[in-house]
Structure 1
């Protein structure tokens, strides 16, 4: 357990560095939109999701659209949680608490293949990322760098590039590549008619390729 946890912290350090930079961008943008430092920091402490928090900003202060967008974007955590569930331990409450460590980078880092996850590796990766996210938000909201500086330094593209790197590491083989291509095609098509949050949820249709593979394995 100790080795897995420490391995997770090493992986999480790189994820935390990218998260810190994005959190600075969130904090600065929140301040520019009139959020108080306390509001921005509490949002990062409780929500701890870049996609959901930026969705709140994009809603421009309208409560219902903001909550709806955040729920749609974070809908990906439902299948992720179901996937990692069998690898958690204890009763319902304990498993629910452990499930709070399910964030994108940690989930990928903990994946062992075959539907198995190293929960201690996931815990270690998240334990590093959460304080970095909160600290980055505090730096951004308190120093409030200008949007022009954020764009000049390229801070607004750090996380998309980070997720692209994660994707490239996962699409080894025909089936993962097909799933990624299907998800990208579905998202691109939906963007013509629906908001980005819904398109993102629709992109999870690519995961149906995995169900096809599972049924083939069972039949064999």
Structure 2
């Protein structure tokens, strides 16, 4: 039986809960936007249950809401979701050895935020536990937020209630634990510079994909960094 230390559990649970709060708020914004774009409550909730990729979902309904075609909405959503394939490679060791149903469910939960929570841990057993706990918390929070937003419909404006800040808050919580390491700081700096520099020149979504290459700066083994520091 695998064991992990309580301080580690508190760390990834608190990070998951912090991100989960942002998920509820951001999910609420998505639910409102989806219903405003013409989706029903059932369709909005089904999208979150089956896709569970906030940026792609928000991109798709935004395109539809502004008169874009379903094909362009689908293409943009797939492009934004492409980064999850990279995360899947990183999370493969965490899911390895499980049953087919558990791996299929795990694949659904491989997103930016669960990857960030897991990558802050080094012990394999703790990483596995962190993945499933963070995945369950964030999946529940995202779908709860979507349901609330869809039920409220167009009766609220997300910006009027400050709901538009949920995305920055969520990503701040994601990177906070990684800023303790040299690789994490390098990756964050590269990602920030790339996203800001490319935003005026590239279509929406592409700067984020390019900034994801910042993770390459964090691929060096953590033990090697510790040896260098000592």
TM-score relative to the length of structure 2: 0.79
Bigger shift: residues 100-109 or 32-41: 100-109
Q: Work out the CA distance in 1 between the residues paired with 2:141 and 2:190.
A: 33
Q: Work out the CA distance in 1 between the residues paired with 2:182 and 2:37.
A: 44
Q: Does the CA contact (< 8 Å) of 1:73 and 1:201 recur in 2? A: yes
Q: Does the CA contact (< 8 Å) of 2:19 and 2:173 recur in 1? A: no
- Residue matched to 2:57: 53
Q: Does the CA contact (< 8 Å) of 2:32 and 2:149 recur in 1? A: yes
Aligned CA distance change for structure 1 residues 92 and 64 (closer, same or farther; 3 Å) = farther
Identify which of 31, 36, 47 aligns with 2:35: 31
- Residue matched to 2:159: 151
Q: Work out the CA distance in 2 between the residues paired with 1:200 and 1:115.
A: 29
> Pairwise mapping of residues 161-200 of structure 1 onto structure 2 (< 5 A)?
161-200=169-208
- Residue matched to 2:128: 119
Bigger shift: residues 139-148 or 199-208: 139-148
Identify which of 200, 212, 215 aligns with 1:207: 215
- Residue matched to 1:86: 93
Q: Does the CA contact (< 8 Å) of 1:28 and 1:145 recur in 2? A: yes
- Residue matched to 1:68: 75
Q: Work out the CA distance in 2 between the residues paired with 1:126 and 1:28.
A: 23
Say yes or no: does 1:133 pair with 2:137. no
Q: Does the CA contact (< 8 Å) of 1:16 and 1:129 recur in 2? A: yes
Question: What does the per-residue CA deviation read over 1:182-205, in whole Å, with 9 as the maximum and x for residues that have no partner?
Answer: 222222232222212111111122
Indicate the RMSD between aligned Cα atoms, in angstroms.
Answer: 2.9
Aligned CA distance change for structure 1 residues 92 and 66 (closer, same or farther; 3 Å) = farther
Aligned CA distance change for structure 1 residues 115 and 72 (closer, same or farther; 3 Å) = farther
Q: For structure 1, list consecutive stretches of 5 or more residues without a partner in the other structure.
A: none
Aligned CA distance change for structure 1 residues 167 and 141 (closer, same or farther; 3 Å) = same
Q: Return the offset for 1:166.
A: 2.4
Aligned CA distance change for structure 1 residues 37 and 183 (closer, same or farther; 3 Å) = same
Q: Secondary structure at the match of 1:118?
A: helix
Q: For structure 2, list consecutive stretches of 5 or more residues without a partner in the other structure.
A: none
